[in-house]
Chains A and B, each alone.
Chain A
Amino acid sequence: EAGVTQFPSHSVIEKGQTVTLRCDPISGHDNLYWYRRVMGKEIKFLLHFVKESKQDESGMPNNRFLAERTGGTYSTLKVQPAELEDSGVYFCASSLRQGIAFFGQGTRLTVV
């Protein structure tokens, strides 16, 4: 069974540009989560989808971040415009109902 897949694995963009990260959850997992780890800090929750609905987006840092999950399958996280402080590793995780979360390998975003 395929795990949580994220791409790209690494992205380098200039300040002010737009970047879109993609996450493909484990098939059948209704719950999808985005997390982020910035340099030197702990992994922090960004938001939670149940199917295509945003259940909790309390961790989203500001309105430059937009997450979507059309059709309740894969999800995208868009950063527009990107700022230097957005650099970090973005993790996606998925779970069955309220079960254990399985994480993807992460997307390392560098804003220069």
Chain B
Amino acid sequence: QKEVEQDPGPLSVPEGAIVSLNCTYSNSAFQYFMWYRQYSRKGPELLMYTYSSGNKEDGRFTAQVDKSSKYISLFIRDSQPSDSATYLCAMSEVGSARQLTFGSGTQLTVLP
């Protein structure tokens, strides 16, 4: 069983839609939760960073962490064609070298 499970998609939505991306994990030691966005032929770019449980909002993006369910989400409001990319969840443990454990990524296409 993978430590982090992420639906690979592909996910296709119309412009303006609300997008929900999710990951589940099995390692209860994970404390840091991140969402990266990766455009084709580029490296992962950090979008959101959350420590422990709770919500965090940044513009059109909201990250949620539910440690009791070992479930994290990223919501994108008013999605734009420029949001079309692969979204990767990543996690790490407290006190480790912050090495990240990634999900496999969800490919999102926002249609104009």
Contact = CB atoms under 8 A, between A and B. Distances in A.
B2 A105 contact: no
B14 to A, nearest CB: 28
Interface in B53-108: 88, 90, 97-105
Given A42-B103, A106-B43, 8 more contacts: A31-B97, A35-B100, A43-B90, A56-B97, A100-B49, A101-B100, A105-B41, A105-B43
Contacts of B36: 103
Most-contacted residue by chain A among B44, B90, B101, B103 (CB, 10 A) = B44
A54 to B, nearest CB: 10
Interface residues on B, range: 20 to 34
Interface residues of A, number: 26
Given A42-B2, A42-B104, A43-B102, A55 B44 contact: no
A104 to B, nearest CB: 5
Closest 6 CB pairs of A and B: A103-B43, A43-B102, A45-B99, A42-B104, A105-B43, A48-B97
A42 B99 contact: no
B41 A55 contact: no
Interface of A: 4, 6, 31, 33, 35, 41-45, 48, 50, 55-56, 59, 91, 95, 98-106
Contacts of A102: 46
Interface string B27-49: 00000001010000111111001
A6 B105 CA distance: 22
Contacts of B43: 4, 6, 91, 103-106
B45 A103 contact: yes
A45 B101 contact: yes
A109 to B, nearest CB: 14
B4 interface: yes
Contacts of B97: 31, 48, 50, 55-56, 98
Given A104-B43, A105-B43, A98 B102 contact: no
